[in-house]
A and B are shown apart, each in its own frame.
Chain A
Amino acid sequence: MIREQPGRESGGRGRQEAALAALDIVVMTPRSAEGEMLIRELQRTRASVRHCWPAPETYPVEADVIVSELVPGLAHRLPWVPGQAKAALVVVLPAGAPALDQLHNIAADALLPRPLAPGVVPAIVLHAHIRFAYEQRLRARIDKLDETLRGMRTIERAKAILVETRSIGQDDAYNFIRRQAMDRRVTINAVAAAIIDSHELLG
């Protein structure tokens, strides 16, 4: 079957356009001419866009991307502590040089400088979303690595028990644990822990 690929050259709506259209975006900006342009450009991507102004004391949690003016106390309006962000954050900069310390503390994923150039808003919002999603994946990977590292010792011990009690090789022992895990639809760690427990129980 030949499927039409959403290619770079095709000019049609590609994967990234589809990704944009799927986003839930909250916009905190005044309804000035520039603000209207920002909102319109985002709406045109078919993303779900909610507008909110004046900026609330506590920003909503439920969003993929928050686009916000650099309002006073922005870091405290965000419903998370730094490093635990729940959404990508795009900060709309005022004209002129922004306070660098404030920007650092807000930990934005992208910046939108004023005056806004026509057409760039969707690209920057998508960029922020992609970076944020990547950071989430890396964090998940680190969590998983931490867990695996702890689990490795359990698996090593379970392997050693199997090697000793069943007179099989290291690889066979591992494959045995892995097969059991697949059959029982539990993690390899869980099987390894069960082997150690039962070994102790039986002496």
Chain B
Amino acid sequence: MGNPTARTGAPWRVGLLFSKTGITSVIEQTQLQASILAIEEINAAGGINGRELRAIHYDPGSSTAGFAQHAKRLMIDDGVTTIFGCYTSSSRKAVLPVVERLNGLLWYPTLYEGFEYSPNIIYTGAAPNQNSVALSQYLLKTYGNRFFLIGSDYIYPRESNRVIGELVRMAGGAVVGERYVGLRAQRRDFLPLMRECGQLRPSVIFSTVVGEATTHLYQAYADAGFDPRIMPIASLTTTEAEIGAMGPDVGCGHITAAPYFEAVDSDVNRAFVGRYKKRFGSDQTTNMCVEAAYFQVHIFARALAMTNSIETDCLRPMVLGSAFEAPQGQITINPMCGHTDLWTRLGRANGDGKFDIFWQSRVPVGADPYLVGYGAQVA
């Protein structure tokens, strides 16, 4: 595709693929809002090289086929080359062939299981070495080495648990249970798992449950009368958004690893949180997915200002290696793998539905999606 609008001052058009309906819409809507906030900020500052940034949004309805079809629609009917979107790994894998074949660029603002590298995707969420490693080390040290894994039944939880299992075993620990529930799981689906935890008494319940089922897991845990101080739920996917959905009293005391929490103590973050709440309501909280969805649009805009071409072949080289002062701190798009060098933080949910950060990496952690730097030796 040429760039016929380069001289005309016509808007730069980009696509947004986040669900407003369906099972993962709670978190995806926050990613949509964050993208809109960034776009509005860019336009308020005069656009990119004097041209407005205009987004075309479709609601894929949390369905994999919806993501594939709307990616096709964006690229073919709307002539868009840059797409911001996707939460689940299944949706990313549905969009991947489309952007690869038509040479688009997908910006993916969500943590995922690693072991992927597409020249047509920029990954701005955490890879396993940026959350799982630190979290498992802390849990092993603090609570013990018997892990009970619970996940939603799709790619990310299964692959993520493979990595977690490996890390736990390397440290001489054991996975005493590994269970998967449907994406539409209800509270009753978690009852047998809570009974099992009651009998096995693992050191930690490790959750990669996503979407609305998250609430049911934590509620079932609370109903079972377990104590987060002794046997917490540790998660890679429970953010401020899920805690808000389940209620702070239910989530209180449980642990999440993420590059970003709303509680990050910096001027950049406080200003970001302020703008987000002002725009979408004071009851709204930011979270790791919001933050990645936000900063990736700004990184895109900076690269585009320099290339003045939205073609993937021009834009991508400019994006690789670029750094940005994000709300979580200084981050860099890793030029080797198109993932992002991010901060690792551990947070414990408090009574206000926020996370208290009790540990963070001293410097950003380089993305290592294939876990090359983490040996597979026996501990």
Residues of A participating in the B interface, judged by any CB pair closer than 8 Å: 75-76, 81-84, 100-101, 104-105, 107, 146, 149-150, 153-154, 156-157, 160-161, 164, 196, 200
What residues on A are CB-neighbors of B376 within 8 Å?
A: 153-154, 156-157, 160
Question: Whole-angstrom distance between the alpha carbons of A146 and B378 in the complex?
Answer: 23
Q: Is B116's CB within 8 Å of the partner chain A?
A: yes
Check if A83 sits within 8 Å of B96, measured CB to CB. yes
Check if A153 sits within 8 Å of B166, measured CB to CB. yes
Pairs A–B under 8 Å by Cβ, sample size 11: A81-B68, A81-B69, A81-B94, A81-B98, A82-B72, A83-B97, A83-B101, A84-B98, A105-B75, A149-B115, A150-B159
Which bucket holds chain B's interface residue count?
A: 20 to 34
Query: B112: shortest Cβ distance to chain A, in Å?
Result: 13
> Which B-chain residue is minimally distant from A82 (CB atoms)?
B101
Describe A's contact surface by its main secondary structure: helix
What residues on A are CB-neighbors of B175 within 8 Å?
A: 200
Given contacts A105-B102, A153-B371, contact A161 B378 (CB under 8 A): yes
What residues on A are CB-neighbors of B99 within 8 Å?
A: 83
Q: Is B169's CB within 8 Å of the partner chain A?
A: yes
Q: Is B162's CB within 8 Å of the partner chain A?
A: yes
Interface residues of B in 108-142 (CB under 8 A from A): 115-116
Which of B71, B76, B162, B370 contacts A76 (CB under 8 A)?
B76
Query: A75: shortest Cβ distance to chain B, in Å?
Result: 5
Query: A134: shortest Cβ distance to chain B, in Å?
Result: 15
Query: B76: shortest Cβ distance to chain A, in Å?
Result: 4
Check if A150 sits within 8 Å of B115, measured CB to CB. yes
What residues on B are CB-neighbors of A75 within 8 Å?
A: 72, 76
Query: B95: shortest Cβ distance to chain A, in Å?
Result: 9
Query: A164: shortest Cβ distance to chain B, in Å?
Result: 6
What residues on A are CB-neighbors of B2 within 8 Å?
A: 100-101
Question: Whole-angstrom distance between the alpha carbons of A139 and B370 in the complex?
Answer: 19
What residues on A are CB-neighbors of B115 within 8 Å?
A: 146, 149-150
Check if A101 sits within 8 Å of B98, measured CB to CB. no
Q: Is B45's CB within 8 Å of the partner chain A?
A: no
Check if A84 sits within 8 Å of B97, measured CB to CB. yes
Q: Is B377's CB within 8 Å of the partner chain A?
A: yes
Q: Is B317's CB within 8 Å of the partner chain A?
A: no
Question: Whole-angstrom distance between the alpha carbons of A35 and B6 in the complex?
Answer: 41
Interface residues of B in 55-99 (CB under 8 A from A): 68-69, 71-72, 75-76, 79, 94, 96-99
> Which B-chain residue is minimally distant from A102 (CB atoms)?
B76
Most B CB within 10 A of own CB, among A81, A82, A105, A196: A81
What residues on B are CB-neighbors of A164 within 8 Å?
A: 378
Question: Whole-angstrom distance between the alpha carbons of A82 and B79 in the complex?
Answer: 14
Question: Whole-angstrom distance between the alpha carbons of A128 and B1 in the complex?
Answer: 22
Which of A82, A104, A157, A161 contacts B98 (CB under 8 A)?
A82
Query: A176: shortest Cβ distance to chain B, in Å?
Result: 16
Given contacts A146-B116, A164-B378, contact A82 B102 (CB under 8 A): yes
> Which B-chain residue is minimally distant from A85 (CB atoms)?
B101
What residues on B are CB-neighbors of A154 within 8 Å?
A: 376
Query: B192: shortest Cβ distance to chain A, in Å?
Result: 22
The 8 closest A-B pairs by CB, nearest first: A83-B97, A83-B101, A156-B376, A82-B101, A105-B76, A81-B72, A81-B68, A160-B378
> Which A-chain residue is minimally distant from B375 (CB atoms)?
A156
Query: A4: shortest Cβ distance to chain B, in Å?
Result: 42
Check if A82 sits within 8 Å of B97, measured CB to CB. yes
Check if A104 sits within 8 Å of B1, measured CB to CB. yes
Question: Whole-angstrom distance between the alpha carbons of A156 and B372 in the complex?
Answer: 13
Q: A150-B159, A153-B166 are in contact. List 20 more A-B contacts (CB 8 A).
A: A75-B72, A75-B76, A76-B76, A81-B71, A81-B72, A82-B72, A82-B97, A82-B98, A82-B102, A83-B96, A83-B101, A83-B102, A104-B102, A105-B75, A149-B115, A149-B370, A153-B371, A153-B376, A154-B376, A157-B169
What residues on B are CB-neighbors of A104 within 8 Å?
A: 1, 102
Q: Is B174's CB within 8 Å of the partner chain A?
A: yes
What residues on A are CB-neighbors of B162 within 8 Å?
A: 150
> Which B-chain residue is minimally distant from A106 (CB atoms)?
B76
> Which B-chain residue is minimally distant from A161 (CB atoms)?
B378
Question: Whole-angstrom distance between the alpha carbons of A107 and B76 in the complex?
Answer: 11
Question: Whole-angstrom distance between the alpha carbons of A104 and B371 in the complex?
Answer: 36
Query: A145: shortest Cβ distance to chain B, in Å?
Result: 10
